[in-house]
Amino acid sequence: MTFDEVAVELGLEDVDEAFPHGWEDSERSFPDSKLRFLDEAFIAENGSLVALDTAAIDGLTAVADRVPRNPALAHLLCHEHRL
């Protein structure tokens, strides 16, 4: 997906020009499988490292389960995670 496609899909047409910096690199590294940082174990492990409580970790996990249903959001999160 191009950044412009994602921006239109998510209603982000007015974002700062620096936001899509490195987009092409992110797209080349976009995995075919589930994004690792959305995995329940990854969220729990890293959440505990920054002292998130169980409720916050559970909330993040619930949101993470929804991301794959929105390809534009998945591509944007992959880009932001990579940066």
pLDDT of residue 18: 66
pLDDT of residue 83: 85
Amino acid at 4: D
Whole-model pTM?
Answer: 0.80
51: left (phi over 0), alpha (psi -120 to 50) or beta: left
pLDDT of residue 12: 86
Closest CA to 46 of 61, 33, 31: 61
CA separation for the pair 53, 47 (Å, rounded): 8
pLDDT per residue of the chain (83 residues) written in tens, 0 to 9: 999 899 999 998 788 776 788 999 999 999 988 899 999 999 999 999 999 999 999 999 999 999 989 999 999 999 998 88
Q: What's the CA dihedral at 59, 71, 35, 20 to 10 degrees?
A: -100
